[in-house]
Amino acid sequence: MRTAADLPGDIETSQALIACDDKLAVAKSTFVAKTLKAKELELSRLKRMHFGQSSERIEREIVLRKLKRSPDHSRQKALAIQQGNKRACYDLASRSTPLDSERTTDLFSTSVQLFGWQRESRQEGGKAPMQFGIFNIPYSRGYAHGSRTVRDVIEWDLQITKWADAYGLDEAYFAEHFTLGGEPSPSPEAMIAAASQVTQKIKLGAAAHLLAYHNPIALAHRMMWIDHMTGGRYIAGFAPGAFPSDAQLFNTGKNNPQMMVEALDIIDAVWNRKGPYRIERTYWTVDMPAYCEDIHGPHLTPKQEKIPVIMTGMQPKSPTLSVAGQRGYSPMSQQVHAGVLREHWATFAEAAKSEGYTPCRSEWRICRDVFVADTDAEARVGYLNGSMGDLWGNYNIPTFIKLGIGKYISGDAIAEEDLSAEWMAENFHIVGSPETVAQKIETLYREVGGFGTLISFGHEYVDNPEIYRRNFELLGTKVAPLLAHLDGRECNA
């Protein structure tokens, strides 16, 4: 409050200004009181509507209601995100962003930059509810047929990953293939590096680095660098490499499994041991020098205390999953029927226990395509008339049958030659409304004895991106809460 001594000029003018200040102060106080009273009444009304919910959550609901009545201004919507209203982010941010405009940045990302907001953890009460992820193979029949460019493939994978991050999914993986035109991804570490710059929370992994095709000393250092670049969000993935054309390219013959094991030993040493030491093997030799003050190195270590490692398998008694168990890594099962999945777990668990590790189902990741829409009918149409139906009906199923692995999907339910996209949508993949999808996921969970993370492959919905964005939205905001009781913490074989 000003006094006469604070004001220049004659006393009458000063007193008039002071009186004006008094009136403004009274008006401001009255306005604040009315505002607080209105908020109190609104809060009381909402408490009656949402009995049992926290006051913090109800106050956030008030903010959200006001935003819905306000003009479509990004900063107002971003305020809801700053205040921790995750649902406001979902409802107001991504849906208002034009998908094809290079000038329009994702509102979710912009809001994070403006306010430093981070998504809430889904962990509650010490438990880790079932998690969800995306696996960017990437499937790109458009690229294989010449209608899409490498840049198109990269940008679509990054868009999928941004949606996964924005809607609360937990993990995103990038594959590695060299000669497959329909699955072009020769550098998962490059994709992880790019994704780390446009996401905030989601963990980013390789599924997998094909170890026979890399110098493990150089790869170990790149992975440590990526671990720092992602802020400790990196998940390493290792595999021997399964496609004959890739093996031919690198002239590895039938030596990939042995090369993988040798590379694993070297990578583990580079990550965890200080020099000097020397490891001489059949395919590679590492001669790690002692630390030298003159060069301040060797210097690089991982950001995480222990970089998490996954290994994938498809065969019922997968030798790769056995290696994962023996080394204390985590298993990831490819898209196979429940009978094969049970064999995967048995194979992994037996190998883990043989080396003194306790196998924990919360660390088990299972791949199974998911498509969620507002209704079952919409989901079925989105699957069958979209990229998923085209890919599985016209490419994956014929390829799997040709390779002799169609039986890993069909099981005893149907002859593999009778597999079709329609059958997959009804009987294998997880397609439907949020309630239907949640029920199907829980059924799979019970059939195999429990698991920790469900991974869906990324698909090429570039001609109808909105239904695919909506799929991620519903998976993160509707399906995940319905399955929060499945904590996947059963540590039994």
Domains of the chain: 41-118 (no CATH), 130-207+308-482 (3.20.20.30)
53 has pLDDT over 50: no
Structure tokens at 82: 């700053």
CB 282 within 8 A of CB 262: yes
- Residue 199 to residue 462: CA distance in whole angstroms: 20
Determine the pLDDT at residue 371. Answer: 98
Confidence of residue 115 (pLDDT cuts 50, 70, 90): very low
Quick check: 69 pLDDT over 90? Answer: no
CA–CA gap between residue 161 and residue 401 (Å, rounded): 30
Going by pLDDT thresholds of 50, 70 and 90, the confidence category of residue 64 is: low
- Give residue 165's Cα distance to chain centre: 6
**pLDDT grade for 122, boundaries at 50, 70 and 90:** very low
- Helix axes of 376-384 and 465-474: crossing angle, nearest 10 degrees: 130
Q: Per 3-state DSSP, what percentage of the chain is helix, strand, and coil (rounded to 5)?
A: 55, 10, 35
* Contact predicate 388/141, CB 8 Å: no
Unique residue bearing structure tokens 């550098």: 187
Burial profile 420-455: b = 16 or more Cβ within 10 angstroms, e = fewer: ebebbbeebbbbbbbebbbbbbeebbeebbbbbbbb
What pLDDT does 10 receive?
52
Taking residue 82's Cβ as centre, other Cβ atoms within 10 Å add up to 17
Predicted confidence at residue 181, as pLDDT, reads: 96
Mean pLDDT of the chain: 84
Separation of alpha carbons 478 and 226, rounded Å? 32
φ, ψ for residue 172, nearest 5 deg: -135, 130
N- to C-terminal Cα separation, the chain: 72
Q: How far is CA 337 from CA 341, 343, 362, 453, in A?
A: 6, 10, 19, 16
Judged against a pLDDT cut of 90, whether residue 83 lies above it is answered with no
**pLDDT attached to residue 21:** 57
Asked whether the predicted pLDDT for residue 458 surpasses 90, the reply is: yes
pLDDT tens column, 359-380 = 999 999 999 999 999 999 999 9
Rounded to 5 degrees, φ, ψ at 289 are: -75, 160
Identify whether the C-beta of residue 462 lies closer than 8 Å to the C-beta of residue 142. yes
Looking at residue 362, the DSSP 8-state letter turns out to be G
Mean pLDDT of 220-227: 98
**Separation between Cα atoms, residue 471 and residue 70, nearest integer Å:** 27
Per-residue pLDDT at 312: 96
Q: Is the pLDDT of residue 188 over 50?
A: yes
d(CA 487, CA 124): 10
Query: 88, 92, 53: which is closest to 72 by C-alpha?
Result: 92
Q: What percent of the chain shows pLDDT beyond 90?
A: 72
pLDDT higher than threshold 80 for residue 91: no
| Stretch 86-105: mean pLDDT | 40
Nearest-Å Rg of the Cα atoms of the chain is: 27
Question: Is pLDDT above 50 for 183?
Answer: yes
- The answer to whether residue 55 scores a pLDDT higher than 80 is no
- To which H or E segment does residue 422 belong? helix 421-427
SS3 of 366-407: EECCEEECCCHHHHHHHHHCCHHHHHHHHHHHHHHHHHCCCH
Give the pLDDT score at 491: 60
CB 184 within 8 A of CB 150: yes
The pLDDT score that the predictor gives to residue 435 is 98
| Average pLDDT, integer, range 415-432 | 97
Residue 120: predicted pLDDT: 42
Is residue 207 classed exposed, middle or buried when 0-12, 13-18 and 19+ CB atoms within 10 A define those classes?
Answer: buried
pLDDT tens per residue across span 2-45: 444 444 455 555 555 555 556 555 555 565 555 556 655 655 55
**Cα 180 to the chain's mean position, in Å?**
24
| Residue 428 predicted with pLDDT over 50 | yes
Q: Residue 487's pLDDT is what? A: 78
Residue 88 is predicted with a pLDDT of: 46
Q: How high is the pLDDT of residue 77?
A: 52
Asked if residue 185 lies in contact with residue 176, where contact means CB atoms within 8 angstroms, the answer is yes
Q: Is the pLDDT of residue 109 over 80?
A: no
99 pLDDT higher than 50: no
